Amino acid sequence: MSGTQHYRDSRKQAGMVSILVTMILLIVISLIVLGFAQISRRNQRQTLDRQLSSQAFYAAESGVNDVRNLINQALAAGNAIPSKPDCTGGAGPAAVFYGSLSSVLDGASKVSYTCVMVDPSPESLAFSDIGPVGTIVPLTSGSGANFGSVKLTWQSKTGSATPTNGCPANATNKFSPTTSWTCGYGVLRFDLVPVSSGSLNPATLQDTTYTSFLVPVPSSATTTTSYPGGAPASRNGNNLIATHCTNTECSMTINGLSTNKYYMRLQSFYQDVSLQITATETSGSTASLQGSQAVVDATGKAQDILRRIQVRLPLTASSANLMSDYALQTTDSICKRFAAVDGYFQSSAATVVPGLSNLTTPPNPACQ
């Protein structure tokens, strides 16, 4: 009996082990299946979220484009652009101006732009591509108060850190050839002219325009300059300013302004840059800048996914200079047969221009 009992106990124990092993295997397999199902659902949701995110982004872009069309129509008609500071329909002129916006793009798929805000007088202006072609920027005080200063801040166009070890040690009257320029920043030229008097003509424009070349210098440089109040020559002469630059940006503040409307032309030589403009009033308060850019903030929605974008729309027909930026411009090479500096003139044109025999000098090597 004892042997038979031992045999039965062994069979019971073996059966229990089989049941435990089976249960463990079932649990492991169930966990694996649940894990794969969770991963599958997560991948499906991520795919759906990416699709909805793209739809929400395009919906936000549609909101920006709808506002752009309204702004272009208003500019063509000479009408003002009212502010829309919140997501509501607005009141007064804003309600009338933006009342035609149709925010629902696809009702069946629940795609729309849920909020559009418009600021036609932002506290800063931003330009992503300032190069050798002049960019014209109107600077008009949104409050009507006079400007006290204007600040220019610019970075490398790529937006990455810009080492300054290749920049000039100081501002000199001689610029290096483009092939020898190793600084990550360009030389920024600005022409600033007040235009609020209403009696503008070529003579007053020439006399009141302040022109400077801001040379990027890593040390022993300044971050401020003042609009000259003396003779016109001090404003439109050869003004080179050593401008302090770090590995992230350069900045220059122009002080001594005294009216509420200016025009500025901007150019960057050697390197294209991105640039921001801010201003203060004579009271020291931050100035709003009217008539140059409108900031449009739009939020798009696709089902439960939201995307928000912010875009700056120009409020002028073109910010690019429509006239030549130079006194002489050509698509071919230029051979200069004369040299002119302060108190000195030399001509090499006597052999080719009649009547200049009294200015005979050795031929200009650049014209050989």
pLDDT, one tens digit per residue, over 25-39 is 888 888 888 887 888
The yes-or-no verdict on residue 130 having pLDDT over 60 is yes
pLDDT band, very low/low/confident/very high, at 359 (cuts 50, 70, 90): very low
Q: What is the pLDDT of residue 2?
A: 56
What are the start-end ranges of the H helices in the chain? 2-77, 93-97, 202-208, 233-236
Q: What are the pLDDT digits (tens) for 155-179?
A: 888 777 777 778 888 877 667 788 8
Which two three-digit tokens encode residue 55?
Answer: 């739809």
Mean pLDDT, range 3-16, rounded to an integer: 60
Query: Does residue 321 have a pLDDT over 50?
Result: yes
Q: Is residue 152 within 8 Å of residue 235, measured between CB atoms?
A: no
pLDDT at 9: 59
pLDDT of res. 124: 94
What pLDDT digit, counting tens, does each position of 57-110 carry? 999 999 999 999 999 999 888 888 999 999 888 788 889 999 888 889 988 889
* pTM for this entry: 0.76
Name the amino acid, one letter, at 239: N
**Structural tokens at position 169:** 């040690």
Question: Which tokens go with 166?
Answer: 């290749």
Question: What mean pLDDT is reported for the chain?
Answer: 82
Confidence of residue 317 (pLDDT cuts 50, 70, 90): low
C-alpha dihedral over 256, 262, 267, 268, to 10 degrees?
40
356 pLDDT band, cuts 50/70/90, is very low
The percent of residues in the chain predicted with pLDDT above 90, rounded, is 33
How far is residue 264's CA from residue 321's CA, in Å, rounded to a whole number?
A: 11
